[in-house]
Structure 1
Amino acid sequence: MTFSASARRALHAVLTTGSYAAAARHAGVSQPAIAQQIKALERHCGTPLFERRDGHLVPTAFCEELTGITEGIDVLEAQAARLLERRQSIQSGHLRIGLGNSMPGMALIAAFQREYPAVTLSVVLSDFANIIRGVVEGELDVGVLPNVPQDRRFVRESLIDQDVVAIVHPDDPISRFDRIDCEQLMQSPLIFRSRGSSTQAMVDAAFRQAGLEPRARLVLDTRDGVCEAVANRLGVGFMWRHGTGRTDTIHRIAVTGMGAPCPESVFRLSETQDPIVRAFFVTAKNFRRHAEVLKAG
């Protein structure tokens, strides 16, 4: 005998009401049907599930243990039903996403589109300050940034861990190093980001910690601009390690004193109830899980 949903409903109805008659009314079935389900369960279990006391059916210790488990099954079934309903309901819609880096955000977006191809996506690439402002002011549904601030207004889901690295052209003499410090970097022309960049905030902090005051050859508004400047051999730039999938003319070098790795996360306002946004967060959770499996492998 399988422990069917109807058998679980009959068991819970008797447990709740204390009689077959009341359980039948509660479940919307006949009294003989309830009694038959309980008797069949008792035969299958090989032990009574209820004892009659003062005209009421009282659960045995085994019954209480059993229903504690079956209630968990019912909760999981309800969650599965809500998940299926949500997936079926997302046949269209619009999601506005703000990215501080092309990656891993673009990979996450690709994973979401494979699951929900009918949803229209608008993507804004901007700096840290603008993405935070866009989410707070409702111009963006979700943002993807490293080092999202601890703020009770936000719900976050971590994707990967990031650290800031120096980037150079492969022909640059310092490309032979696996690690470099700020004092060594002072010997090269530097390419910085403009104010509002989380990358530049980390770079500024590292040079201050080293007691240095660098001057930039170039200050650029975008990460892509920094990458292009480096590709054209204009100097040494900085970026989050996994901020782009580009490898052709960009060589990454770890920088001593640049700070500990921090998570890059997708985040939204905590009060958001939009099912599309919530589905995006489920995709993000699966993205992180997949990344951890690949890393472990």
Structure 2
Amino acid sequence: MPISTYQVKSFAFVVREGSISGAARRLGVSQSAVSQHISNLEATMGAQVLIRGRDGVALTPVGQDLFQLADEYASLDQRIEERLRGHAALDRGHLTIIANAPQPALSLIARYADGYPNVSIDFTLFDWSSAMQRLQERRVDIAVITEPAASRELYIRPITQSRYVCYARRDDDFAQRPVVHLRDVADRTLILPEPGSLTQRVVSKALADHGVVPRRLVTMTSFPVMKEAILEGVGVGLFLSASSVSERSLCEVAVPELDQVFTTCAVVPKHKLGLRVIKSFLDVLADSRA
């Protein structure tokens, strides 16, 4: 039995979306249809390509060998469809975007949504390590992340640069200072993102280098949660400046020991660069920088 294009596309989208239901939604077909395509693909290959579990799907070794080609095929198929349908106005489409902080990703998404209202967007925050892993696994269209790891398979375009600062509530005494030194946090509760984040690595190294041990260390899943914790008076946080929209009750204070500049970039798997929906997003990025 020959392998059909439907089987290959279904396989690629199941891996991209992490579930059969997600692939069915993206492809506009039933879950049973996707399941049948995967079953037929495995029967034709004579090997299992996916392991189904409660938390989604995982690739078998055979599936890992197949996925890169299947993903490239699905992207090429999308480009062909765009060309045939003439999506000059992008009257439909879909983007999966991830980031390791709300900004500047959300500002770019807002600009893009204004110009292309018919393109649907899935947006999720991940720590730096998880974001890079999803890029390497080809499970995302665009990532907006700080200091991405270079790869021949990734297209990287710089967006903005920033330094680490201390976030404190406006009524905190830190907010009244021109700078906050790392030694100043020794008597405070310090809020950081969870392990796997760039911030966790950078700040932990800086604290160790300067012999600073905070009185209490609290880890949070993402910057929005950190921000809420700081506003609630849990403690102070160290994070990249301008990671969120400005907040009257929150201050950013310079930290002299954290003076290194970090670059946040838009990252796209190179085989997706030919897609019109990707090009349109990069055009919006170029316009916003201009």
Q: 4+ residue runs of structure 1 moved beyond 4 angstroms?
A: none
Spell out the pairing of 1:89-128 with structure 2 (5 A cutoff).
90-128=90-128
For 1:148-159, list aligned pairs within 5 A: 148-159=148-159
C-alpha distance after superposition, 1:70-109 (max 9, x if no partner): xxxxxxxxxxxxxxx9871522111000021111111101
Which residue number in structure 1 is paired with residue 225 of structure 2?
225
Does the 8 Å CA contact 2:193/2:221 hold for their aligned counterparts? Answer: yes
Unaligned runs of at least 5 residues, structure 1: 1-84, 290-297
How far residue 187 of structure 1 moved from its aligned partner, in angstroms, is 2.2
The residue type paired with residue 119 of structure 2 is: V
The code of the aligned residue for 1:260 comes to: Q
1:71 is aligned to: none
Q: Determine the C-alpha separation between the residues in 1 that align with 2:87 and 2:102.
A: 27
User: Which amino acid in 1 is paired with 2:246?
Assistant: R
Aligned to 1:244, what secondary structure does the other structure show? coil
**Structure 2 counterpart SS, 1:186:** helix
Q: Aligned AA for 1:278?
A: K
- Per-residue deviation, 1:149: 2.0
2:261 aligned partner: 261
The whole-number CA distance in structure 2 between the counterparts of 1:278 and 1:140 is 15
Aligned-partner Cα distance in 2 for 1:164–1:174: 15
State the partner residue of 1:277. 278
Give the aligned residue type for 1:101. Answer: A
Q: Work out whether residues 167 and 252 of structure 2, in 8 Å CA contact, stay in contact via their aligned partners in 1.
A: yes
Q: The residue matched to 2:189 in structure 1 has which SS?
A: coil
Matched letter for residue 128 of structure 2: F
SS at match of 2:98: strand
In the superposition, relative to structure 1, how do residues 86 and 107 fare at CA in structure 2: closer, same or farther (>3 Å)? farther
Q: Note the 1:156-171 alignment, pairs <5 A.
A: 156-171=156-171
Flag the 1:151–1:214 CA change in 2: closer, same or farther, 3 A: farther
Number of residue pairs matched by the alignment:
205
2:133 aligned with 1:133: yes
Are residues 174 and 261 of structure 1, via their aligned partners in 2, closer, same or farther at CA, if it must alter by over 3 Å?
A: same
| Inter-partner Cα distance in structure 2 for 1:243 and 1:173 | 22
Equivalents in 2 of 1:148, 1:265: separation in Å?
7
Change beyond 3 A, Cα 1:217–1:210: closer
Match of 2:209 in 1: 209
1:262 partner amino acid: F
Structure 2 Cα separation of the partners of residues 239 and 86 of structure 1 = 44
Q: Distance in 2 between matches of 1:115 and 1:220?
A: 34
State the structure with more CA Rg.
1
Structure 2 residue runs of 5 or longer lacking an equivalent are 1-84
Larger deviation, residues 206-215 vs 91-100: 206-215
**Aligned residue in 2 for 1:143:** 143
Specify whether residues 215 and 268 from structure 1 end up closer, same or farther in structure 2 by C-alpha distance, changes over 3 A only: farther
TM-score, structure 1 length as denominator?
Answer: 0.65
Preserved contact between residue 159 and residue 287 of structure 1 (Cα < 8 Å):
no
Of all paired residues, the percent bearing the same amino acid is: 20
How far did residue 137 of structure 1 move?
A: 1.2
In the aligned structure 1, how far is the partner of 2:86 from the partner of 2:156? 21
Name the amino acid aligned to 1:274: L
TM-score, structure 2 as length reference: 0.66
- Aligned residue identity for 1:270: K
The CA distance in 2 between the partners of 1:135 and 1:148, in whole Å, is 10
Q: Residue 121 of structure 1 aligns to which amino acid in structure 2?
A: I
Quick check: 1:190–1:216 contact (8 Å CA) kept in 2? Answer: yes
In the alignment, is the contact (CA less than 8 A) between 1:157 and 1:284 conserved in 2?
A: no
User: Which digits, 9 at most, give the CA deviation of each residue in 1:96-148, with x for residues without a partner?
Assistant: 00021111111101111122111111111121112111222122111001112
Q: Residues 8-47 of structure 1: matches in 2 within 5 Å?
A: none
Instruction: Supply the RMSD in Å over aligned alpha carbons.
Output: 1.8
Compared CA separation, residues 209 and 152, structure 1 to 2 (3 A): farther
- Tell me, yes or no, if the aligned pair for 2:188 and 2:214 is still in contact at 8 Å: no
The equivalent residue for 1:188 is 188
